[in-house]
Chain A
């Protein structure tokens, strides 16, 4: 059965709740990211839902401070990189099953700009990995008219003084309503029918 309401598959937090409200999306919560052993069962259950024209995916871990890689032991690495990255794989896999022919998948991923990357190696690794996954979906599902794109935001990853130069636009790192939702809407809209495998950095130009 087909459902015209957007579906947001995401971690449950304030940012994603506001995203769901702004997009008038139905919310499907991701499983606890510290429990990879339940990810397969979650995916099997989730893909039994209605097929959708528009599916948005966002794995959004709880806030965590920047930390040099040398200070991250194996457990910290697993918590900061492996668990959220594995969940991204399952969430995007579910999205490919739930999106209708001719539909759209948009991933929203936290990503530090390169200038702000020290102490954020796990987070930038996740973001670049998600981009490759999104482009894989674009390549695999394009034959049935499905588009897949990525929006990145530095929200939740910025702390302390910024390395110069300052971002070109004021308001860095932005807000969900003012800066992120619009970028997601662009990809979901008919105006973006020719765009797939693309990434928009909703970061006020910080990545320039």
Chain B
């Protein structure tokens, strides 16, 4: 029997991986024995996830990265390349802390809009530029964590929905641009049980019923087993002919696709 291609060692970096979906992606990549860099602000929490990666058979590392600060993402990529000499996958999962906060589009202030934009798109631009050369060498891939909100919009989370939609456009365009160099660009749109989702349910108590009522599988996804493994597929050579795609990993929830 042929050994699964994704078992070959890869070097991956995941932003926003101290919890939730980012942690789930990191742990799923650990199951494949990959080297996984946890790019995050909080070292203690990042080191804890790196230890979980080790425990699952991968190689866990922490690299300091505040995606809201210009230049930080590029510095993190430089640190990884200085140690690993290669990079196979970049996952931009970090999102603004304001993401689950209900707001009216007409009442959002500049600073809050900028926070959404800097974390979701500014850091993405920086990560993409800093990693392009290495991804070209490895024929690697860039993976974005977007959301069903980026397809269908959200009545009370407009700024979040907007940047998630913008990430999809970013991926669709860059996939065509980078394809000529053998670099793939994809997105996943997860629906997972995460601290962020729990926070959103706290802020909007009716949200839990709304979310589950339209979900054919009637449950939220597990960040590692449901979401992380789907992300791992897109990062792996098993997905070597998949680019410009958004994979809905949402239990069939989003009706806008």
Contacts and interface: CB of A to CB of B under 8 A. Distances in A.
Partners in one complex: yes
Interface of A: 36-37, 39-40, 43, 47, 68-70, 72, 74, 77-78, 81-82, 85-86, 88-90, 92-94, 96-97, 112, 114-115, 117-121, 123-140, 197
Q: Which of B107, B158, B169 has the most CB of A within 10 A?
A: B169
B169 A125 contact: yes
A92 to B, nearest CB: 6
Interface stretch (B125-133, B193-201, B234-242): B125-133
Interface in B157-172: 157-159, 161-170, 172
B194 to A, nearest CB: 20
Contacts of A96: 104-106
A140 B161 contact: no
A132 B149 contact: yes
A120 B173 contact: yes
Given A69-B125, A120-B173, A85 B166 contact: yes
Nearest to B165: A132
Classify the interface of chain B: helix, strand, loop or mixed: helix
B42 interface: no
A123 B173 CA distance: 9
A132 to B, nearest CB: 3
20 contacts: A37-B110, A47-B106, A69-B177, A74-B126, A82-B114, A89-B158, A93-B105, A114-B176, A117-B172, A117-B176, A117-B177, A118-B176, A125-B170, A128-B168, A132-B153, A132-B165, A133-B105, A139-B155, A140-B155, A197-B153
Given A86-B114, A93-B108, A121-B174, A135 B169 contact: no
A121 B162 CA distance: 16
Sort chain B's interface into a size bin: 35 or more
B154 interface: yes
Given A47-B106, A74-B126, A137-B153, 4 more contacts: A69-B132, A86-B113, A86-B117, A132-B149
Contacts of A118: 173, 176-177
The 4 closest A-B pairs by CB, nearest first: A132-B165, A135-B153, A128-B169, A129-B166
A186 to B, nearest CB: 21
B60 interface: no
B34 to A, nearest CB: 26
Given A132-B161, A132-B166, A139 B176 contact: no
B97 interface: no
A34 to B, nearest CB: 14
Contacts of A134: 153
A138 B153 contact: yes
